[in-house]
Amino acid sequence: MEFEDTSQPEITRQLLSSIRTKLVSVYAQVYMYQIRFVLQYARGKVHRALRNTVSADEWKQMWGEIESVSRLIDQGVQDRLGVRALETWRRVNEIETRSERIESLQQATLAAVQVGIEAELLLSLPFAGNAIFDSAETLGTDAPCLPGTQRRILNEIQDWAESPNGEAIFWLHGMAGTGKTSVALTVTNALNEREPFTAGGIPPSTAFLGASFFFKQDDATRNSTRSFFPTLARCLAEVFPDLKSHIVSAINERLAIGTKAPPQQLRHLIFEPLSILDGETFLPVRLVVVVDALDECLERTEAEELLEMLATLEHLHQVQLRLLITSRRDKHLIRGFERLPSVLYRPLLLDKVHVSAEKNGSMDDITLYLSHTLAKIANKHGVSQNWIDEAEIHKLSQKADGLFIYAATVCRFLDSEDFTDEEARQERLDQIFEDDGEDGPQQKVDEIYLKVLSFPHLAKSTKRTRERTFAHTGTVLGFLAVLFEPVSISSLGVLVALSMEMLDGILRQLNSIVSVPQDETSPLGLVHLSFRDFILSKERSKQLQFRVDESAMHRQALQRCLDVMSSELCHDICHIVLPAKLTSEVPRHQIEQNIPQHLRYACRYWVDHLAKLDQVCLQEVGLQDTGKILAFLKAHFLYWLEAMSFIGEIPTAIVMINQLQAMINPTEQRDTRPICRSDASLDHPETDYRRDLDPPDIYPW
């Protein structure tokens, strides 16, 4: 029955069939041989002898055929055994291969799961994406040094970064407009790309970019130290894989580390992981952390404390963390550095550029910058580069008085829509050359701002048109100066209550001092912090045709936030329909569609604008029982809380409620706590504020 086993492989069945055929054949030949043998011996002796003589070869042939078939059968049996063995080994090999493949897939799956867990833990940290050196926000308003400029400064920074005996901190300080941020960007790019700091120099060999943090006063995501150390930790984990596992372990052990105070974050996210790696590393590693514009940290005490905390990183040995810090020479920062041991940091003044007389054909940095940038502008507009001669460029260099901010503002002022019009181009150039007799460097910067905002084209307009234009310009610039986060053109239009056509017309005239994106969804902002200082200073901006009062602008921004929220917030704002649906289950595009940027800004920052008002304004805006704030909370508190849940700002909402409560004197005004409550149990001590509340937690449904 074995021959008929259909479960055998095809090759085995074929072999068995062949053996069976040959067995039948040999049996037949043996029978024939035996019959012939019997017949032969049944004959007479003479007859047998005669037939034996005649048929001898035929007997031999028959026996040879029997032996041949027998050998074939033997070989078939051997083949049968070999095929079985080979089949068995083949199956064993298949099992082994599949086992190895399964094991490999298991290892790959475990590795992918581990990578996912690590990524999720890192993503749980607060992260100031705009503060990274190559973010769109940073590169949108600043640029690295033009090749050939700031050579002395850059060479000294590279020598410090690569020296094994270099100080822990390099402090590059100077007044506004000297190009500190451009230097910081050049250093980060060079370290990141492994390129020379200066043209023709040597690429860095022992120093590597660890992290970067570019402070910005008008960007709430990077104007404090709240997310400074988590951002540094995430950057270090991304660029230094050996450090990543230690940072991830630190997060896993303290899931709420993102909400802790900066000293705890420094200790657990930076110092302890680096210390562990320091003990495991035999070869020295030098990581450079670039911290730009520390003076733009809003809270001065935070900046001072940050310096004190960073100084503790000097105790590492094999893994050296070097810090390049740039800032103005503000008093609180001078005080902070003076508290540090002098051997811990190297100060270097980035002074104004001294305009040269172009001896030996060389140009100073300002002249080189102006020549290069103005030629680039001419090419962009299809105008000959000879539209401005060397004498005029040199005159502009002298007007800049060594400040890159002045030179950059001049170039932006000249780069107007009517640049192709020779007469308009010359009018702008003449306007810059008009001398007002002021000599100080700050006056030089203010001078160009005053010229930009003089709007000479309005001279022939009616008085009403001029007043309306100046009023709208003041509102737009005022909002840009006090907003806590950059917003898009369309969002700004809603907040300032201006039509897009009118807003576009104003922004076109402000392109030299306002960074205006090409589309309506990207954020816009002031080109340089010095303009914010200028526009909010009564003394420096007194010659303008309009005034921007900081407290008044915060009050106006608060009112617009309340108006926007009152008109757009509603129950089930994202139309999730199902009461039990979680915010994490709602698609991001659905949230952004129903809670646009201007509404997100209003929900997130209205209390911050309220906190900026003086005591008189606080009373006027209505913190009393019958005031606007209480009326808003009565009507829209749960709607606001729901919106904050969808945009992932519930922890911030808790802080805002506490901040709001602190601004009210309960002995004189009504306590807001009964209003600032819901079934979400916001003030319960066991509430986990690291997660977002969901609509089922907020509404009773």
Give the whole-angstrom CA distance, residue 268 versus residue 403: 41
- pLDDT given for residue 38 in this prediction: 59
The domain limits of the chain are: 2-107, 129-349, 359-436, 453-548, 550-701
Mean pLDDT, residues 30-55 taken together: 56
In the 3-class helix/strand/coil scheme, how is 215-254 assigned residue by residue? CCCCCCCCCCCCCHHHHHHHHHHHHCHHHHHHHHHHHHHC
What is the average pLDDT value for the chain, to the nearest integer?
A: 82
Give the whole-angstrom CA distance, residue 495 versus residue 526: 17
Paired with 214 in beta bridges are 292
Render pLDDT for 436-471 as a digit per residue (tens, 0 to 9): 555 555 677 888 888 888 887 787 789 898 899 999
Render pLDDT for 248-265 as a digit per residue (tens, 0 to 9): 999 999 988 988 999 999
For residue 294, which of 284, 286, 306, 276 has the smallest C-alpha distance?
A: 306
Render pLDDT for 100-130 as a digit per residue (tens, 0 to 9): 777 777 777 777 666 778 788 888 899 999 9
Q: Which residue has the higher pLDDT, 46 or 8?
A: 8
| Among the ranges given (152-156, 562-566, 596-600, 650-654), the one the predictor scored with the smallest mean pLDDT | 650-654
- pLDDT given for residue 688 in this prediction: 47
Check if the beta carbon of residue 388 is closer than 8 Å to that of residue 375.
no
Question: Pairing mode, if any, of strands 525-526 and 514-515?
Answer: antiparallel
Domain 453-548: top CATH class: mainly alpha
Confidence of residue 87 (pLDDT cuts 50, 70, 90): low
Mean pLDDT, residues 624-634 taken together: 78
Check if the beta carbon of residue 168 is closer than 8 Å to that of residue 321.
yes
Mean pLDDT, residues 206-226 taken together: 92
- pLDDT given for residue 75 in this prediction: 65
Mean pLDDT, residues 573-594 taken together: 83
Render pLDDT for 535-567 as a digit per residue (tens, 0 to 9): 999 999 999 989 999 999 999 999 999 999 999
Paired with 345 in beta bridges are 169
**Could you please report the per-residue DSSP string of 639-666?**
HHHHHHHHTT-HHHHHHHHHHHHHTS-T
Helical segments of 537-649, H only:
550-568, 588-594, 597-611, 615-621, 628-646
> How big is the chain, counted in residues?
701
Check if the beta carbon of residue 310 is closer than 8 Å to that of residue 228.
no
Report how far Cα 425 is from the mean position of its chain's Cα atoms: 39
Dihedral angle sign, alpha carbons of residues 160, 164, 166, 169: positive
- pLDDT given for residue 120 in this prediction: 85
Render pLDDT for 630-663 as a digit per residue (tens, 0 to 9): 889 989 999 999 999 999 898 889 989 988 888 7
**Residue 81 pLDDT > 50:** yes
Mean pLDDT, residues 13-17 taken together: 63
Enter the DSSP assignment of 355. P
- pLDDT given for residue 680 in this prediction: 44
| Among the ranges given (70-74, 222-226, 551-555), the one the predictor scored with the smallest mean pLDDT | 70-74
**Residue 691 pLDDT > 50:** no
**Residue 312 pLDDT > 90:** no
- pLDDT given for residue 45 in this prediction: 52
Q: Which residue has the higher pLDDT, 132 or 697?
A: 132
- pLDDT given for residue 562 in this prediction: 96
Residues of the chain with pLDDT > 90, as a percent, come to: 42
Q: Identify the three-state secondary structure at position 416.
A: coil
Going from the C-alpha of 156 to that of each of 72, 150, 151, 159, the distances in angstroms are 91, 10, 9, 5
Enter the DSSP assignment of 261. -
Identify the top-confidence range among 104-113, 342-351, 580-589: 342-351
For residue 365, which of 352, 381, 375, 374 has the smallest C-alpha distance?
A: 352
Check if the beta carbon of residue 377 is closer than 8 Å to that of residue 414.
yes
Enter the DSSP assignment of 271. I
- pLDDT given for residue 559 in this prediction: 94
**Residue 358 pLDDT > 60:** no
Check if the beta carbon of residue 169 is closer than 8 Å to that of residue 336.
no
**Residue 46 pLDDT > 60:** no
Q: Which residue has the higher pLDDT, 262 or 695?
A: 262
- pLDDT given for residue 86 in this prediction: 57
For residue 80, which of 15, 35, 134 has the smallest C-alpha distance?
A: 15
Q: Which residue has the higher pLDDT, 141 or 275?
A: 275
Give the whole-angstrom CA distance, residue 269 versus residue 599: 34
CA atoms within 13 A on the CB side of 404: 27
- pLDDT given for residue 357 in this prediction: 58
- pLDDT given for residue 622 in this prediction: 60
Mean pLDDT, residues 352-377 taken together: 81
Residues of the chain with pLDDT > 70, as a percent, come to: 77
**Can you name the CATH fold of 129-349?**
Rossmann fold (3.40.50)
Give the whole-angstrom CA distance, residue 219 versus residue 557: 16
**Residue 134 pLDDT > 50:** yes
